Amino acid sequence: MVRAKQKIATMKELSEAIGISRPTLSRYFQDPSTVKPSTSRKIKERLAEVDYVYNFIATRQNRKSSGLIGVIIPHYKDLFFTSLLEAIERAARDAGYTVITQSSNGNATGEAQAVARLRSMSADGAIIAPLGLESSTEAFQLAREDFPIVFTDSRPAVEIQGSDFVGTDNAQSIAAIVDYLCRTGEPPVFLSMPRVNSNAIERQDAYQAKMHELGYEPRFIESGSADESWQFEAYGLGIMDEHFSRQRYTSATILCANDRIAIGAIRGANKHGLFARNPERRSGLRIAGHDDHPLSQFMFPAITTAAQDIEGIGDVGVRMLLERIRGERDDASIAVLMEAALRIREST
């Protein structure tokens, strides 16, 4: 039988149980490198003999810095945002910070509640992928009085004074993929995304601008009564299944506003046999997306897309936030737009 370990509740009890002074234990838990290697080994060995959980929050209640960075994303189920979260966590961890993550669940109430929780935790700052709803403006403005904010992926509905933004340059990324599609085949028709954030507008505007620049008339796929929500795959499938069943766009070039919509559109195309594995039987349909969603390369066919620099966005977002936290910048807001790279795959 495994012998139960002694339960330890406080740092004082721990100090008495393992014979290490409280100041030394405190330094060890903050940064093991600040104590002698021999002492660090001794503490580690003796901690293995007891049941003690270091209270991160309690030890920071009387300090100027909590060591916490809050991150709010719309959905955990979206692998793009989980990839972005991983990039942010790596950069924050390297800088000695701990990340507290919350989801807004794609609605204004959830977003406001998530912001309020970060304020209650005395976070040093926050990186937020906003929904772009005006109803969240007051929550952001109040939070900005408590700590600096860097918005990422999309912009808030109203500019928050003293906050920053880092994300993809939609004008560059959409222009690059439109140019490629026009050079290699029929000019693309655009399948817009539900207007859940600023990316929907920016990408549609970028498509129109590039098409006009190349001398083509922009064309848009009719969405009918499709649900304007974050269920992008269902959105793309529902719209394109209806069109394909009526023999519309079956040999077109379709540029989807994001890869999740493209995944749904490709599902519809495969349902109607438009992407036959025998090249001689293919209909001529081409479908492209945007984001380089983690699943985009594993579809059939794999999706041609514009790959966002997720690692770069995470690194820059954390760096910008830390500059604010450390008081190294004035109140002027800045925006950093990262270029995307084309990923040419089977779908085009």
290 domain residue, yes or no = yes
Q: What is the model's pLDDT at position 278?
A: 58
244 alpha carbon, distance to own chain's centre: 32
How far is it, in rounded angstroms, from Cα 192 to Cα 235?
10
Give the rounded percent of residues in the chain with a pLDDT score beyond 90: 66
Within 13 Å of residue 210, how many CA atoms lie on the same side as its CB?
Answer: 25
- Residues 279 and 180 both lie in one domain: yes
Asked if the model's pLDDT at residue 191 lies above 60, the reply is yes
For residue 62, is it within any domain? no
Range with the poorest average pLDDT among 13-22, 53-62, 267-276: 53-62
pLDDT beyond 80 at 180: yes
Q: What is the DSSP string of 64-99?
A: S---EEEEEES-SS-HHHHHHHHHHHHHHHHTT-EE
Q: List all residues 6 or more positions away from 274 whose beta carbon is below 8 Å from its beta carbon.
A: 244, 250, 282, 283, 285
- pLDDT tens for 108-120 read 899 999 999 999 8
The overall average pLDDT reported for the chain is 90
Q: Give residue 76's domain range.
A: 68-168+311-340
Average the pLDDT over 332-337 and give the result: 94
Say if residue 26 is in the same domain as residue 133: no
Position 191 in a domain: yes
Confidence at residue 132, expressed as pLDDT on a 0 to 100 scale? 81
Q: Are residues 332 and 258 in the same domain?
A: no
CA distances from 156 to 88, 146, 194, 228, 262 (A): 19, 18, 16, 18, 25
Examine the domain organization and report whether 42 and 87 are in the same domain: no
The pLDDT of residue 48:
83
Q: Could you tell me if residue 66 is left (phi over 0), alpha (psi between -120 and 50 degrees) or otherwise beta?
A: alpha
Residues 212 and 86 in one domain: no
CATH number, domain containing residue 99:
3.40.50.2300
Q: In which element (H, E) is residue 197 found?
A: none
Q: Is 348 part of a structural domain of the chain?
A: no
* pLDDT for 281 beyond 60: no
- Considering the domain architecture, whether residues 153 and 190 belong to the same structural domain is answered as no
pLDDT digits (tens, 9 = 90+) for 123-147: 999 999 998 877 789 999 999 999 9
41-91 pLDDT, tens digit each: 888 888 888 887 766 555 555 556 778 999 999 999 889 999 999 999 999
- Tally the domains of the chain: 3
The confidence score (pLDDT) of residue 43 equals 86
98 and 161 part of one domain: yes
Q: 234 with 251, same domain?
A: yes
Q: What pLDDT, on a 0 to 100 scale, did the predictor assign at position 302?
A: 97
Q: Is residue 26 pLDDT above 60, yes or no? A: yes
